[in-house]
Amino acid sequence: MIERTLIAFFVAALPLRADVAAETNGASDYPTNTRADYVFGCMAANGQTREALERCSCSLDIIASILPYERYVQAETVLTVRQGVGRQASMFRNAKMFDDIVADLRRAQAEAEIRCFR
C-alpha cells in the first residue's frame, strides 16, 4: 500500500511546476539553464573542444525537437531517483510506467547520437 501511495505521489508531482512552465514558451522550448547543464555534462563526457560544444548543442536540439520539455524533466527525475538506494529507489527501478518515460528519453538520445556524433 505504501508503495502505491509513493508512486501515486510521484506521478502527481511529475507535471511541470508553475515556475518551470513560466520559463518555457512551448512544449519543446527548454530553459537556458537546462540547455547549459546538458551541454556542460555532454562536453565533460566528450571533450572540452569547440567540436564537442557544437555536437553537444546539436544533440540537445535534436532531443528537444523529439521530446517535450515536460517529458524530459520526468525522465531526468526518474533517472535521478533510480540512482538512490533503498526500497523507494527500488520501486522506481522496477515500475514499467517509469521504464516507458526513460525509454522515450533514450530513443531521443539515440537519434541525437546518430545525427550529431557520426
- Crossing angle, helix 2-13 and helix 87-94, to 10 degrees? 70
pLDDT single digits (tens) 78-99: 998 888 878 777 777 777 888 9
**Phi, psi for residue 76 in degrees, rounded to 5:** -65, -35
Please indicate, yes or no, whether the overall pTM of this predicted structure exceeds 0.75.
no
pLDDT single digits (tens) 18-50: 344 444 444 458 999 999 999 999 999 999 999
Torsion of CA 79, 46, 61, 74, to 10 degrees: 10
Nearest-angstrom CA–CA distance, 89 and 83: 7
Contact 46, 33 (CB under 8 A): no
Nearest-angstrom CA–CA distance, 32 and 24: 9
